[in-house]
Amino acid sequence: MAIQQMPHNLEAEAALLGCLIMDESVQTEILESLSEDDFYQESHRVILSAMKKVVGDRKVIDVVTLTDRLDHDGTLQQAGGLQTISELSSSLPSTANYRQYFDIVKRDSINRALIRAAKSIIENSSESPDETEAIAYAEKQVYDVSKQGDRSRLSDLGDGAVIQEIIKKFEDIQSDPNAYRGVETGFTHLDRITNGLQKSDLIVLAARPGMGKTSLAMNIVEHACLVKGLTAAVFSLEMPRSQIGQRLICAHGEVSMEKALSGKLTAKDWKNLLIAADKVQKSKIHIDDSSRVTPAEILSKCRRLAASEMGLDLVMIDYIQLMGADQKFGRGEINRQQEVASITRDLKLMAKELNVPVIALSQLRRIESKEPQLSDLRESGAIEQDADIVMFINRPDATASKEDIAQGKVIKGAAELVIAKHRNGPLGRIQLRFLGETTRFIDVEDQNRPTEEPSYKKPKTPDEDSEIPYE
C-alpha cells in the first residue's frame, strides 16, 4: 500500500511568505499567528524563522533584511538561496489574497497535527494498561491540536463592539438586577453579594476539618440541581458516592441522619425521606468518587458531560489537597506547594474552558486560636492567587467548651461565611445557622431569627480603636 503524503500546499505556503515580504501590514497582522510547524516544506520553515528574527530586531521584512538574516545564521542555502527569496515576492502580483493563503496553510497544518495525534493515540492505546488513562491521553492529544487552531489575537477596543456589549450588560442589569444571575446558592445574602456563582469563576471554599465545608458545598449543589433543575458534576475524593447520596437525601428531606442510621424514623420522617429520595434520584447530579483524581481527568469527564444533552452548569471538587497534579513532582514541602499551584491553575483554566463555576474545597491549617485568614490556606498561596472567590467557614461552637455554650458565650450552631477574596465584587461576612443533625446550613431568617445583613467589616477586638476592612 502506498504511503499517503501529509496534507500540504506548497504554492499557498510560497504565496503567503511572498505576502509577508511585500506588505508590512500583512506582517503586523498574521506573522505572530504563524509557527514553523505550519509549513510543510523545510525551506519555508527556515524562511519563517528568519522573518521572526528580523522582526525581533525591530526591522521591517524585505528581501534585503531577510537574506541578510539568513546569511548571518548560515541558513541562506537551506532556504533556497537568494534567487528563491527574490522569487517569493516577484512572482506575486498582489498581496490582496493573503488571508486565503493563510487559511489554506493553517488548514493543512491542523490536519497534519491531527494525523500525528492519531498515530500517537494508536501507539499509546496499543501499550496502555489502563483504559481510563488511554481515553484521557487521546482527549488531551486532540484538545492540544484544537488549541493550536485558536487564532485569537491582541486587538484594541476601537471597533466599539466590546464597549457596546459592556454598556448593554449594564443597561440590562439596571432594568433587571437578575439579568446576569449566576448559579444561585440558596443563601440569600451570598447570592446578593455574588449575584450567583458566575460562569468561569473558581470558587474556593475553605475551612478547618470538621467545620462543614462538604455540607455547605453539597447544600449549594442540592439547591442548584433539586430546586433550580441544573446539572452538576461532583468529584468526591474523600467520601464514597453512597455517603454523598445519603447526605443529599437527609438534607433535602430535613431528616436527622442520626435517626435514620439508628432506625428511629417517625412516619413523617419516612414520608419526607422518600419524597427527597425520589427527587435526588431524578436530579441531574453526577457523582465521581475516584480517589487521587487529576485536573486532566476531571476536565475529560466534564467535557463529555457538557457535550451531552444535559449539559453542565456547576462543578464541585472535594477537595484540593487530595488531588494529584497532571505532572510529577518530587517529595517535600516545596514540591507539594508546586504541585498544589499546578492543580489550582489547572482548575481555573478548566472553569474558563467549561464556562461554568467550579467550587473547589480546601483544607486550612489547624490553628484554633483565631478565625480563618487567607494565610491559613494549606500548602500554597497559589490557591488564593488563582481563585476568583475565597470563602471561609467560621464556627465558634465547633471549638468552644460545653461550659461556654451552656453559659451563652457561644451560640450553638451559629456560623459565619467569610468572603475573604472576591475578584469581581465586595467582601462580606454572612451569618448562617448549621443544623448538624441534617448536615445543613441555612440562612438565619429560616429559623425565625432577625435578618442579618452581610457585614463588610472585620469585628473589633478589645485592643482595636476602630473597625478595619477585612482584606
Which one is predicted more confidently, 339 or 234? 234
Q: Is the peptide bond before 319 cis (omega within 30 degrees of 0)?
A: yes
Which one is predicted more confidently, 4 or 15? 15
Q: Is the dihedral of CA 376, 381, 385, 386 positive or negative?
A: negative
CATH of 183-469 among 3.40.50.300, 3.40.640.10, 1.10.20.140, 3.40.462.40: 3.40.50.300
In this predicted structure, the answer to whether residue 463 has a pLDDT above a threshold of 50 is no
| Whole-number pLDDT of residue 295 | 85
Q: Is the dihedral of CA 285, 257, 409, 208 positive or negative?
A: negative
Q: What is the 3-state secondary structure (H, E, C) of 320-365?
A: HHHCCCCCCCCCCHHHHHHHHHHHHHHHHHHHHHHCCCEEEEEEEC
What CA–CA distance (Å, rounded) separates 464 from 468?
9
In this predicted structure, the answer to whether residue 148 has a pLDDT above a threshold of 50 is yes
| Whole-number pLDDT of residue 449 | 44
DSSP 160: S
Mean pLDDT of the region 54-59: 86
Place of cell 487564532: 151
CB 372 within 8 A of CB 384: no
DSSP 455: B
Which one is predicted more confidently, 381 or 349? 349
CB 237 within 8 A of CB 318: yes
pLDDT tier, 255 (very low <50, low <70, confident <90, very high otherwise): confident
What CA–CA distance (Å, rounded) separates 347 from 320?
10
Comparing C-alpha atoms, which of 430, 397, 429, 431 is closest to residue 412? 397
pLDDT tier, 314 (very low <50, low <70, confident <90, very high otherwise): very high
Domain layout of the chain by residue ranges:
10-148, 183-469
| 10-148 and 183-469: identical CATH topology | no
What CA–CA distance (Å, rounded) separates 377 from 363?
7
C-alpha cell at 22: 511585500
The tens digit of pLDDT for each residue in 284-300 reads 999 988 877 888 888 88
DSSP one-letter string for 192-246: HHHSSBPTT-EEEEEE-TTS-HHHHHHHHHHIIIIIS--EEEEEESSS-HHHHHH
User: Domain 10-148 carries which CATH code?
Assistant: 1.10.860.10
Average pLDDT over the chain reads 82
pTM equals 0.66
Which one is predicted more confidently, 256 or 132? 256
Backbone angles phi and psi of 317, in degrees to 5: -125, 125
| Whole-number pLDDT of residue 137 | 83
The tens digit of pLDDT for each residue in 393-448 reads 888 777 666 777 776 677 777 888 989 889 888 888 888 888 878 888 988 875 44
pLDDT tier, 462 (very low <50, low <70, confident <90, very high otherwise): very low
The tens digit of pLDDT for each residue in 195-226 reads 899 999 999 998 888 888 899 999 999 999 99
